[in-house]
Amino acid sequence: MPLGFLDNELEFVSKGTYELLGVTPDEMMGGHHNTIERMTHPDDLDNSRAAIRDSIVAHEPYQVMYRLLLPSGRVKWLWDQGEGVFDENGCPRYLEGLIMDVSEQKFQELALLEENQALRTSVINLYGLGNIVGKSEPMRRIYSQILKAAETDSNVIIYGETGCGKDLVAQNIHEYSGRKGRYVPVNCGAIPEQLLESEFFGHVKGAFSGAHANKEGYIGAANGGTLFLDEIGELPLHLQVKLLRALENKMYTPVGGNTPKESSFRLIAATNQDLSRMVREKKMRSDFYYRINVLSLTLPSLRERQGDIPLLVEAWLEKKGYNMVLPPHVRLIIEQYDWPGNVRELHNFLDRFLAFGEEALTSLGDAGRADLLLTTPQGITLDEAVDQLEERMIRQSLERCRWHRGKAAESLGLNLRTFQRKMKRLGMNGDRKQGGA
């Protein structure tokens, strides 16, 4: 590869190189000593020059990969490796090395990348990803993060409000990963503190009163798989120390035992707490926090993806075996309710509705929304009532999004054009014009 501080004189070129490049000896040696540089793909030229130049300056071998544009129009990937030869004063005299055609391997690699991208697209099903429901933009971003996390073995923390579906996200990361072992879910807040160590690490027979047989703990069960710890902030400090050792050494010792056991597991944790704040308040060990906080995902609340509510309702009714559509006024109520308990609260409401009918709406009355259409004023048509509710939903969405119309439209599952058309029809275009688009 020609460089500014070396002359471009070629002293020897093998027959294989001529064949590789598709040129004749005269073309290479007869004054066209910069043939390789002229054939190098423009996008790769600066990188290949820099790699060789840096190796000369450092007096070290170089390795670089680049594309050649052949006279036939084909593209070849070359692996170029070599080193500089220097005189007694340390000045570079020439380069010697070899080039190899790695096109087949490179094209296979690119094809695999395309296949993986196609797989990512194809796994988004009718309702969402795997057993997660939602097709809003916030959820599509989460799906992308799930699939990227699944490609690694790094530990993950999933943040989100109660009822957002953090357990489903963890399960999907495991299922789309290459781990063949078990998925072991644990609710840290549901285990009595005196049983935590035995539940996590297992115990041997006779370790304590009532230990009548050996028992495998969560860590042993997750060997080769994934250990999912929900409510990770509830783990006491002394257990964080032991869990950290198991993560770092891939070894643990059952309670009452003397022989360490192996367990290679991936940890996925979930919380609705601010773990960094817990570290500052000495409620979580910093070394444990940094060990588990390699990758993180933050799930949107249901009020941040209200456009997914119809899909969530449809999927839940189908799961329960009901082929039905909710009455229009019920749909309008649930689509404008804030759902502080998120998807879990929505599912609970639907179960109550299936059992008790419209009486279930009273459970949403805390914010006054359940009575909105149950007490529809006399003398107005259904269309007028729908318009009133649409205006209220749009206004509430704008207020939540600080009058950013694009974000408000997204939260309602509408494109910006449809959202603006509804605002115009409802006479809302004059409202807070300073809001962003």
Q: Quote the CA–CA distance of 85 and 91 in Å, as a whole number.
A: 8
What six digits make up the tokens of 39? 């054939």
Reply yes or no on whether the pLDDT at 195 is more than 70.
yes
Does residue 352 belong to any structural domain of this protein?
yes
Q: Residue 396: pLDDT band by 50, 70, 90 thresholds?
A: confident
* pLDDT (0 to 100) of residue 127: 72
Number of separate domains in the chain: 3
**N-term to C-term CA, the chain:** 52
Residue 374 pLDDT > 50: no
The pLDDT of residue 368 is 37
Same domain? For 249 and 281 the reply is yes
Q: How far is CA 368 from the centre of its chain?
A: 37
Amino acid identity of residue 168, one-letter, is L
Return the SS3 of 419: helix
Q: Which domain holds residue 72?
A: 15-106
| Residue 191 maps to a domain | yes
> With contact defined as beta carbons under 8 Å apart, do 315 and 133 qualify?
yes
CATH of the domain at 22: 3.30.450.20
pLDDT in tens, 307-337: 899 999 999 999 999 888 888 888 888 888 8
Whole-prediction pTM value? 0.61
The DSSP output letter for 161 is -
Residues 310, 291: one domain? no
User: What is the band of 88 on the pLDDT scale with cuts at 50, 70, 90?
Assistant: confident
Q: Final residue of a domain: which of 91, 106, 121? A: 106
Q: Are 319 and 414 part of one and the same domain?
A: yes
Mean pLDDT of 18-42: 68
pLDDT of 245 higher than 60: yes
Mean pLDDT computed over every residue of the chain = 83
